[in-house]
Amino acid sequence: MGDIEQEKKSQDLFEFHPEPAAQTGASPDQFQAEMMDFTILSVDDDEMFQNSLRLSLSGFTYRGVAPRILMAASANEAAKLLLETPSIAVLLLDVVMETDDAGLRLVRTIREVLGNSQLRIVLLTGQPGIAPMQSSLETYDIADYWLKTDLTNERLHSILTANLRTFEQIDVLNRARRGLQSIVEASNSLARSSGFEDFSRRMIHELAALLGVSEDGIVCVRGRDREQPPKIIGSAGRFATVLNQTLDTIDDESIRDLIQRSLDEQASIETAKAQVLFFQGQAVAPPAAAYIATNRRIDDTERELLRVFATNIGTGLINVALTSQLDRIAYEDGLLEIANGNALKRGIQAALEVPPPRRRKVLFIELNQYARSCISLGVEQGDHLLRAFVKRLAAAFPPPCMIARLHEDVFAVLGPEYLVRIEYVNRLEAGAHSPEALFFGAEAASLDLNHFSSAQTVIANGLLLLKKAGLKGTSGQLIEYDPNVEDETRRRLALSQQLYKALLNREISVVFQPQIDLTDNRIVGAEILARWTRPDGSVVFPADFIPLAEANGLIVPLGQQILEQACSALRSMSEAGSQASPSPSMSRRYSLDERNS
């Protein structure tokens, strides 16, 4: 029972408010006939018969409306008219015209060449032997077959009424089929939406296509605060300029009132010139109203299609809201409600997809008093400091710049190079001297995206530059990225890898620099110096590889190899009877002095 009640509630949600009878002016049947715009085509080369037919139909009406009457004198002329007027409902066709089978050949052309299966065809003949009734009805797709001599005014009118009714029913079925197919395709299109604005734009497009009208539409949502005007999250056509504004900015008062009424009464509204669909929403999706200008009444088929369309749209809005909520969790900083590191990475990667020159920069900024503020004044004061800092960032780097928080007190600004200038960081200092003004000290590093190919590399280099700025000792350091430094870093990395292999292959050797007592010119000791000679004979200076060994942890195995070689050399010298061999008291003077090259 719960499912049945829910389905009934869903159906009730999209009930349209009826227009007052005084505004409609026409009966439903007459309105339906006006919407169909019925046309009858008579094809006959007998001018007297055509005149008689025209006279007979002069007072004929269907659903209170007189159909349009067209005349053709040949099958060729009729084929041209059918091409130009696809809305023809009934064809009164003479079998014998320019040839004995001209009428039957036109039937084949209509069904097989033009592909028109909806047109009702009534064969008329004054020579029954040319095209026998039974075989013609079996062979050709025709609705009826009459002798001209059997046609009276009453019979002709009844034939046309029956065939117009059949055409109308087939047209309703075909339009419903096409409409449902359109709704399926629209659902697929809406499922690819990337957010509320994109969803709303697609909704207006698909709604206009379903009704066959221009894309003059508006989608409004009501926020939690009912005192605030509804916000326009989608617009198209002549309303395109009001996107992201509030409902009260629309000049047309009648449209404003119609949308507001739909949101207040929580119901869809139909008028002679527009449709407003209301969507209830849920906890994750706000109530919404979609306005589309039709400039005409819609018929029963279109109304039913709108119900189906609105049900799909309601589900789609909830899905988009859920997706947007997940997107916020993934790409928005929960405390400051700005972009986070994931959003920055996505934005940088999108900018890198543009071939150079990109004219885009990223500025990394570290707020240097955040940690001290949290320690001394508490986390709440630290959060207050961050919020105030973000406001100052937004003022110094306005849209289209993206401001993102990477972690704690590290922020980044992505935008055009003419806006993202490192000297603008000075604007973050408090300009006013009011009691509430806060001073912000910060280090910053600027990177030009022309030098990079991946977002991860940009962020890694930016954070590294911030570290370097912090190591300089004084606050407020500003560093520009230098691509030559990156080349030097890559060279040092390659040399570090070569040093590791050199230690494994024992390519590092030692030399002795004697220490001489100047009073008697005796060798009293020696300094042991490290030397690196590659297999190809090239030499790497100690000033290049000793700092690398210290930086990457290779200094210990390097020192061990040098000491082993030094001890082995001393032993060999002692065994050879060298007088330079030190005494135990002097052994302390043998050292590896990596600073002395």
In the prediction, which pLDDT does 447 show?
A: 93
Name the strands in the sheet holding 360-367, side by side, starting at the edge strand that comes first in the sequence.
339-340, 402-407, 410-416, 360-367, 442-448, 478-480
Phi/psi for 41 (5° steps) reads -115, 125
Give just the sign of the alpha carbon dihedral 249, 253, 259, 262.
positive
Residue located via tokens 């008291």: 585
More confident residue, 357 or 12: 357
Q: How confident is the model at residue 397 (pLDDT cuts 50, 70, 90)?
A: very high
The radius of gyration of the chain from alpha carbons, rounded to an integer in Å, stands at 44
* Whole-number pLDDT of residue 593: 40
The structural domains of the chain, ordered by start, are: 37-173 (3.40.50.2300), 192-331 (3.30.450.40), 339-481 (3.30.70.270), 488-589 (3.20.20.450)
- The answer to whether the beta carbons of residues 77 and 42 sit under 8 Å apart is no
Q: What percent of the chain has pLDDT over 90?
A: 13
Range of weakest confidence among 16-25, 300-309, 576-585: 16-25
Which residues have a Cβ under 8 Å from the Cβ of 334 and sit 6 or more positions away?
none
192 pLDDT more than 70: no
Tell me the torsion sign for CA atoms 340, 346, 351, 355: positive
Residues 482-495 pLDDT 10s: 777 667 777 888 88
In contact, 81 and 88? CB cutoff 8 Å: yes
- Give, to the nearest 10 degrees, the angle between helix 483-504 and helix 555-575: 40
Q: What is the mean pLDDT of residues 559-570?
A: 87
- Phi first, then psi, for residue 33 (nearest 5°) are -65, -40
Which CA distances in Å does 478 have to 363, 364, 390?
10, 10, 19
Within 8 A by CB and 6+ apart from 313, the residues are: 190, 203, 277, 279, 290
Residue 24 has pLDDT above 70, yes or no: no
CA distance 94 to 125: 6
pLDDT at residue 583, as a whole number: 35
Q: Would you say the C-alpha torsion 522, 523, 525, 529 has a positive or negative sign?
A: positive
Q: 88: burial class by Cβ within 10 Å (0-12, 13-18, 19+)? A: buried
Highest-pLDDT range among 78-87, 371-380, 432-441? 78-87
Give ∠ CA 454-460-466 in degrees, rounded to 5: 135
Tokens of 461: 């280099």
**Alpha-carbon dihedral angle through residues 313, 314, 317, 321, given to the nearest 10 degrees:** -160
pLDDT of residue 584: 34
Q: What is the number of other CB atoms lying within 10 angstroms of the CB of residue 314?
A: 21
pTM: 0.48
pLDDT band, residue 2 (cuts 50/70/90): very low
Residue with tokens 């190809």: 536
3 state SS of 106: helix
Whether 8 has a pLDDT exceeding 70, the answer reads no
Which residue bears the tokens 């006959």? 44
| Averaged pLDDT for residues 330-356 | 91
pLDDT at residue 11 is higher than 50: no
Q: Where is pLDDT greater, at 71 or 525?
A: 71
Using CA atoms, how far apart are residues 480 and 444, in angstroms rounded to an integer? Answer: 9
Amino acid in the structure at residue 252? D
- Residue 374: helix, strand or coil by DSSP? helix
CA angle 395, 400, 406 (to 5 degrees): 75
**What pLDDT is stored for residue 129 in this prediction?**
57
Half-sphere exposure of residue 279: CA atoms within 13 angstroms, side-chain side:
30
Q: Is the pLDDT of residue 49 over 70?
A: yes
DSSP tag of 218: E
Which one, of 130, 154, 153, lies nearest residue 145 by Cα? 130
Mean of pLDDT values over 366-390? 78
pLDDT at 527 over 90: no
CA distance 50 to 41: 11
Q: How far is CA 261 from the centre of its chain?
A: 31
pLDDT at 586: 28
- Find all residues with CB under 8 Å of 484, minimum gap 6, and list them: none
pLDDT in tens, 233-255: 888 889 988 888 888 888 889 99
- What number is the average pLDDT over the span 26-40? 59
pLDDT, residue 326, reads: 72
Which phi and psi (to 5°) does residue 357 adopt?
A: -80, 130
Among all chains, which residue has been given the structure tokens 């062979």?
Answer: 139
pLDDT at 587 over 60: no
What lies within 8 Å, CB to CB, of 512 at 6+ separation is: 526, 527, 528, 529, 569
For the stretch 75-99, pLDDT in tens is 889 888 888 887 888 999 888 787 8
- Choice among 173-182, 218-227, 449-458, 517-526 with the minimum mean pLDDT: 173-182
189 or 221, which is more confident:
221
To the nearest whole number, what is the mean pLDDT of the chain?
79
Sign of CA dihedral 183, 184, 185, 186: positive
Listed residue (473, 546, 478) closest to 508, CA to CA: 546
Residue 408 DSSP code: T
Residue 315 CB partners (closer than 8 Å, separation 6+): none
Lowest mean pLDDT among 122-131, 180-189, 305-314, 457-466: 180-189
